[in-house]
Amino acid sequence: MDILIDLYQWFADPAQWSGASGIPARLVEHVYYSALALVLSSAVAVPLGLLTGHTGVGGFATTSLANFARALPTIGVLFLVVLFAGIGLVPVVCALVALAVPPILVNTHEGVRGVEPRLRDAAQGMGMRGREVLMRLELPVATPLILIGMRTAAVQVVATATIAAYVGVGGLGRYIVDGQARQDLTMMLGGSVLVVALAVATTLLFAGLRRLLVAPGLRAETASAR
Amino acid sequence: MITFEGASKHYPDGTVAVADLDLTVETGATTVFVGPSGSGKTTSLRMINRMVEPTGGTIRIDGEDIRRQDPAVLRRSIGYVIQQAGLFPHRTVLDNIATVPLLLGWRRAKARARAAELMELVGLEPAQARRYPHQLSGGQQQRVGVARALAADPPILLMDEPFSAVDPVVRTTLQDELLRLQQELHKTIVFVTHDIDEAVRLGDRIAVFRPGGVLAQYAAPERLLAEPADAFVESFIGYDRGVRRLSFFPARDLSPHEDTVFDDQTRAEDARDIAEGHGSPWVLVVSAERIPLGWVGTDQLSRVPAGVPLGDLDLAPYGHTFNIGTDSLRAALDAAVLSPAGRAVGVDEDGRVVGVVSQDDLGTAIWSVTE
C-alpha cells in the first residue's frame, strides 16, 4: 500500500501543478500532439476512405496499405523521421499519424461499402447523383463506424503520444521517461495514471460525439448490432 | 405512354436478360410485368428510369427517347418503389418522403408540408412523421415507400415487387390502397411481380414474361385468363384460371329467388309446403329486418309439430354471403360451394337478404358469360 500513499503524495504536491513541467502544462502538450495527429489523420483518412468506399476502386490497395501501416513500429517511425527532420514536433506527429490513419481509413471504407445495396439503388433511382448519394446517404449511414475508427485511433494516439518525451518535446511521457531514468517508480506510475485517465476521457468524448453526430434512427440500430 | 421498341439487354457473359421487347405502356393505366425469376421483368422496368441501360433498341416516354435526358433528371420525374421500401435509416419518415422534392431544390418547409400531405394520402398517422424507419412495421414502411415515390407528383410510377416482403393480409390491404390511390391519381404505373393473382388484381394490362426475357403475352387480365397465348402462359396462370376469370363478371345479372326465404315467425308447416311446391329441399330463415339467420331442410320441417315458428328450430349456419350489387360471379360461386344448402345467399349493401341462388342458377349464369 506504500506505493499508493506515495502516488497520492506525488499528486498532492502543489509543485506538480504549476510551471512548465507541471501536470497542467504536460497535459496540454499531450492533448495538443494527440489532437493535432488525430485531425491530420482524419483529414487524410476520411476523404480517402469515402472515395474508395463510394467508387469501390482502390479498396484492396487501401486495406493493404492500412495493414502495412499497422505493422510499423511507432518508435521506429519516430526515429526514422528524426533522421530526416531532426528533433521536434514533426517526427512525433508523423509517427502518431501513421498509427491513427489505418483504423480511420479502414472503418470509413468499410462503413461506406457496408451501406445496403438496396438503399444505394433507391437513392440512385430517385435521381441522386454520385456526390448526393455519398453525402446524403453513404456518409450519414457510415458515421457510426467512422466514429468508432476515430475513437480507436484516438485512444491509441493518446497512449502512444508518450513517445514525444524521447525526442524532447514534453507531454505526459516525460514522467515515464524521466521516472525510468531516475528509477522513480512513483513518478512513472503517476504519468501512467494520467495517460490512462486521458484515454478514458477520450472514450467519453467520443460517446458524446456519437450522440451529437449520429442520427437517432441509426443509433438504435448500431447499438443493437454492436 | 412508354414504348419499348426492340429493347434488349445482353450481358457480356452471354446472358440475355431481355430479348427484343416491343411493348406500349398506356398512360394513366396500371401495367403489370409478371413472370418467373429470370424472365427479365425487373430488368425491363429498370430500363425505364435508366437504372439499366439497354444494349439494343429504344425506349421512349411520350415519344421522346429517354437516352436524350440526363439520367438523374429523368429519375426525379419518375416515382420509384422497391422491395422492402429501401427507406433511409438515418432520416425520419417525413424527411424520407421529402427526398425528391429536396433534390429538386424545394425549400425545406415546403417539401415537408408536401410530405405531410402524402402521409395522409397513403394512410399514415401524422404522429409517425418523426419516427425512424426501423420503428415501423413492414406494411407501414412500404406505405412510406409509396409516399416517397409520389412526393414530387411524377406522372409515372415504377414499382418493383413492392409488396412481396409483407405478409398476405397486409399485402391485400396494400393492394386495395394502391387501387384506391390509382382511382384518385391516374398515374402511369408499371408494376413488377411474380404473383399472378397480384397481377390480375392490380393490372389493367398484364405482360407475361417467359424465362430468357421474352414477352409471352400482353393482354387485359380477363383476356389473359380466357385465352392464354400458349402452354407456358397457361401453366403460369395456374389450373384454376376458369374460376378466377369469374371475378371479372358481376353477380348483379343473377336472378336470386325469394320464394324459399321466410322470416322467423313463419310456421314450419307453411314454409315446408311452399318450399316443396318449388321443389327446394332447403329454406332460408331471416329476421324481420331480413338479416340471414340460417338454413333448415324440408325433411326436418316435416318432423316438427304443427305451429312451431321457424325461429325456434335448430338452423344450419348460412356460411358467408355475397353482395349482389358489388361482388363478382366468383364470390357468388364461392358462397354457394361453402353453403351447407349448396345455395348462395345474396345480400344488398346493408346485409339484408335479396334472395337465394342455387348452384344450377349459377351454372347457367357462368355458362352464358364464359361462352
Is residue A8 a part of any domain in this protein?
A: no
**CB contacts, 8 Å: A119 with chain B:** 86, 88-89
Q: What backbone phi and psi angles, to 5 degrees, belong to B205?
A: -135, 145
**Sign of the four-CA dihedral B360, B366, B369, B370:** negative
**CB contacts, 8 Å: B52 with chain A:** none
Q: What is the CATH number of the domain that holds A79?
A: 1.10.3720.10
Nearest CA in chain A to B150: A126
Per the CB < 8 A criterion, the answer to whether A108 and A46 are in contact is yes
Give the three-state DSSP class for B303.
helix
3-state DSSP helix/strand/coil % of chain A, to nearest 5: 85, 0, 15
Q: How many helices (H) and strands (E) does chain A have?
A: 11, 0
Alpha-carbon distance A118 to nearest alpha carbon in chain B (angstroms): 6
Q: Residue B110 and residue B98: Cα distance in Å, rounded?
A: 9
Q: What is the residue whose three cell numbers read 358469360?
A: B369
Q: Which three cell numbers stand for residue B239?
A: 389450373
User: What is each CA distance from B81 to A103, B97, B173, B282, B343, in whole angstroms?
Assistant: 37, 12, 17, 52, 44
- Name the interface residues of B facing A (CB cutoff 8 Å): 49, 51, 71-77, 80, 82-84, 86-92, 99-100, 103, 132-134, 148, 158
Q: Which domains does chain B have, with CATH numbers?
A: 2-248 (3.40.50.300), 251-370 (3.10.580.10)
Question: Angle at the Cα of B83 (from B80 to B88), degrees rounded to 5?
Answer: 70
Is residue A114 a part of any domain in this protein?
A: yes
CB contact under 8 A, B103 and A127: yes
Please give the radius of gyration of chain B, using alpha carbons only, rounded to the nearest integer.
26
According to the model, what pLDDT value does residue B121 have?
94
Instruction: Indicate if the pLDDT at residue B198 is higher than 50.
Output: yes
* Interacting residues of B227 by C-beta distance below 8 A, sequence separation 6+: B219
Is residue A3 a part of any domain in this protein?
A: no
Is residue A61 a part of any domain in this protein?
A: yes
Give the three-state DSSP class for B59.
strand
Among candidates A118, A127, A220 on the partner chain, residue whose Cβ is nearest the Cβ of B84: A118
CB contact under 8 A, A141 and B90: yes
Question: Pairing state of beta strands B343-347 and B353-358?
Answer: antiparallel
Instruction: Indicate if the pLDDT at residue B192 is higher than 90.
Output: yes
Identify which of B254, B276, B273 has the alpha carbon closest to the alpha carbon of residue B358: B254
Count of domains for chain A: 1
Q: Residue A72 and residue A94: Cα distance in Å, rounded?
A: 12
CB contact under 8 A, B148 and A126: yes
Nearest CA in chain B to A117: B86
> What mean pLDDT do residues B219-241 have?
89
Is residue A6 a part of any domain in this protein?
A: no
Among candidates B51, B80, B89 on the partner chain, residue whose Cβ is nearest the Cβ of A217: B89
* Interacting residues of B116 by C-beta distance below 8 A, sequence separation 6+: B94, B126, B129
Per the CB < 8 A criterion, the answer to whether A170 and A29 are in contact is yes
**B96-143 pLDDT tens trace:** 999 999 999 999 999 999 999 999 999 999 999 999 999 999 999 999
**CB contacts, 8 Å: B77 with chain A:** 127
Q: Residue B240 and residue B33: Cα distance in Å, rounded?
A: 21
CB contact under 8 A, A216 and B132: yes
According to the model, what pLDDT value does residue B6 have?
96
A141 near B CB under 8 A:
yes
Q: Residue A156 and residue A200: Cα distance in Å, rounded?
A: 11
Is residue A124 a part of any domain in this protein?
A: yes
In this prediction, what percent of chain B has a pLDDT beyond 70?
99
**Paired strand residues for B193:** B34
pLDDT band, very low/low/confident/very high, at B277 (cuts 50, 70, 90): confident
Instruction: Indicate if the pLDDT at residue B147 is higher than 70.
Output: yes
**A43-55 pLDDT tens trace:** 999 999 999 999 9
According to the model, what pLDDT value does residue A224 have?
41
User: How large is the angle between the packed helices B329-338 and B359-370, nearest 10 degrees?
Assistant: 150
Identify which of B188, B208, B231, B195 has the alpha carbon closest to the alpha carbon of residue B44: B208
Is residue A26 a part of any domain in this protein?
A: yes
According to the model, what pLDDT value does residue B101 have?
97
According to the model, what pLDDT value does residue A140 have?
96
pLDDT band, very low/low/confident/very high, at B371 (cuts 50, 70, 90): low
According to the model, what pLDDT value does residue B339 have?
87
Per the CB < 8 A criterion, the answer to whether B190 and B159 are in contact is yes
pLDDT of chain A along its 226 residues, tens only?
A: 688 899 999 998 888 898 888 999 999 999 999 999 999 999 999 999 999 999 988 888 888 888 888 888 888 888 888 888 888 888 999 999 999 999 999 999 999 999 999 999 999 999 999 999 999 999 999 999 999 999 999 999 999 999 888 888 889 999 999 999 999 999 999 999 999 999 999 999 999 999 999 988 887 654 444 3
**Sign of the four-CA dihedral B231, B232, B235, B241:** negative
Alpha-carbon distance B222 to nearest alpha carbon in chain A (angstroms): 33
Per the CB < 8 A criterion, the answer to whether B199 and B233 are in contact is no
A220 near B CB under 8 A:
yes
Nearest CA in chain B to A129: B72
Give the three-state DSSP class for B309.
strand
**CB contacts, 8 Å: A122 with chain B:** 80, 82, 86-88
Alpha-carbon distance A30 to nearest alpha carbon in chain B (angstroms): 36
CB contact under 8 A, A127 and B73: yes
Per the CB < 8 A criterion, the answer to whether B120 and B184 are in contact is no
ipTM for the complex shown? 0.84
A121 near B CB under 8 A:
yes
Instruction: Indicate if the pLDDT at residue B75 is higher than 90.
Output: yes
Q: How many helices (H) and strands (E) does chain B have?
A: 15, 16
Mutate to test the interface with B, among A121, A126, A143, A146 (most CBs of B within 10 A): A126
According to the model, what pLDDT value does residue A225 have?
41
Q: Residue B331 and residue B340: Cα distance in Å, rounded?
A: 16
* Interacting residues of B214 by C-beta distance below 8 A, sequence separation 6+: B19, B39, B40
Residue B44, exposed/middle/buried by CB under 10 A (0-12, 13-18, 19+)?
A: buried
**CB contacts, 8 Å: B83 with chain A:** 118
Per the CB < 8 A criterion, the answer to whether B370 and B243 are in contact is no
Instruction: Indicate if the pLDDT at residue B275 is higher than 90.
Output: no
CB contact under 8 A, B80 and A118: no
CB contact under 8 A, B103 and A128: yes
Is residue A42 a part of any domain in this protein?
A: yes
More confident residue, B306 or A130: A130
**CB contacts, 8 Å: B133 with chain A:** 217
Give the three-state DSSP class for B116.
helix
CB contact under 8 A, B75 and A124: yes
pLDDT band, very low/low/confident/very high, at B93 (cuts 50, 70, 90): very high
CB contact under 8 A, A118 and B49: no
Nearest CA in chain A to B70: A127
Q: What backbone phi and psi angles, to 5 degrees, belong to B297?
A: -85, 150
According to the model, what pLDDT value does residue A220 have?
65
CB contact under 8 A, B99 and A218: no
Q: Which three cell numbers stand for residue B7?
A: 429493347
> What sections of A86-215 are H helices per DSSP?
89-113, 117-125, 130-133, 139-160, 173-181, 185-213
According to the model, what pLDDT value does residue A226 have?
37
CB contact under 8 A, B72 and A215: no
Per the CB < 8 A criterion, the answer to whether A60 and A47 are in contact is no
> What mean pLDDT do residues B206-232 have?
94
Domain that holds residue A121: 22-225
Instruction: Indicate if the pLDDT at residue B349 is higher than 60.
Output: yes
Alpha-carbon distance A129 to nearest alpha carbon in chain B (angstroms): 6
